Amino acid sequence: MLAATLSMAGVFLTAGLSKIADPRAFALIVHRYQAVPDILVNPIALFLPWLELISGASLILVPRWRKAAGVLILGMLLVFTGLIVSVIIRGIDLNCGCFSVDPGTDAIGWKNVCRNLLFILLTTIALRGAARWRANQ
Amino acid sequence: MAPTQAGQRTSELALDAFFILILAALLGVTANLVRPTPLPWAENWSHRVESQASALGIRVASAEQAKQLMDEAALYIFDARSAEHFAEGHLPMALSLPSASFDESFAQYAQLMIPEQEALVYCSGLACDESLLVCKSMLKMGFTNLVLFAGGIEKWEEEGYALEASY
């Protein structure tokens, strides 16, 4: 459970930091997913990376928030996975934007879905640990 | 766990999640405010490709204008989508020039073109910027007589024009 918690914290800290550094590039990726109205693209690009960062940090730094952070991370992973599947089905060519806003990274594919399913499993394991900690308080 | 205890834990969980969301929102707003070039809160993304193309001196064509150009002029027509999408259906006489592999793909065409050669570039539609990326790359190589058909395949089909398929 500790390994799962540390892994997911690292994943989301990395994911958040890369996008906070270049919100315009991330906004372009959000737009290219063609999943939200134009008016929501920039607010999402500004808010989501910080949610990833704080959720990831909370998993290891704020024991009281650990379970809530885990739930939020699980929710984000489910949404992201659904979006990736949608992009694949709609035949849209774009890079994931999951850990890098560099347009030169590999295009989205089923490997991204498999990776996210692994993350969902790890988050579920991390959540069980957080629930146990909470129950002992 | 007693129902009231479970309810209390759920309320605490919801409250903790709410605090995380609020903190993320506050930090997002603050970080953007202190940025040298803040990201605007609202932006017209639908016409972003067209406005950027115009700023670069690239002509922008509607579906009707693109069709007229193709009927009347001798120009190269480049499809900036992936090779797979190109094969499924493309504008008549178009050539595949995926933006993801521009350097390798354009080499074969660059040998046949002069810098003044007119070329029309498109991709899937207004939300796609691969055509703009290809135009930018062609501009860097000195090909300046470019036309961007921003509406792409979507607008072409909306107008009722036919596509060709490679298989």
Interface contact flag, A92 B39, Cβ < 8 Å = no
Residues of chain A in contact with residue B127, where contact means CB-CB under 8 angstroms, are 31-32, 34
CB contact under 8 A, A50 and B39: no
List, in order, residues 6 or more apart from A136 with CB less than 8 Å away. none
Residue in chain A closest to B48 (alpha carbons) equals: A28
The strands making up B59-60's β-sheet, listed across from edge to edge, are: B59-60, B146-149, B119-122, B76-79, B95-96
Instruction: Output the average pLDDT for chain A.
Output: 86
pLDDT single digits (tens) A74-92: 999 999 999 999 988 876 7
**How do residues B58-85 score in pLDDT, each as one tens digit?**
999 999 999 999 998 789 999 999 888 8
Q: Which of A23, A31, A68 sits opposite B127 (nearest CB)?
A: A31
- When CB atoms are compared, the residue of A32, A34, A42 closest to B43 is A42
Which ipTM score applies to this complex? 0.87
Q: How far is CA B58 from the centre of its chain?
A: 15
Measured between beta carbons, the chain A residues lying within 8 angstroms of B48 are 31
Tell me if residue A95 falls in helix, strand or coil: strand
Query: Where in B34-139 does DSSP place strands (E)?
Result: 59-60, 76-79, 95-96, 119-122
- Candidates B20, B40, B128; nearest CB to A42: B40
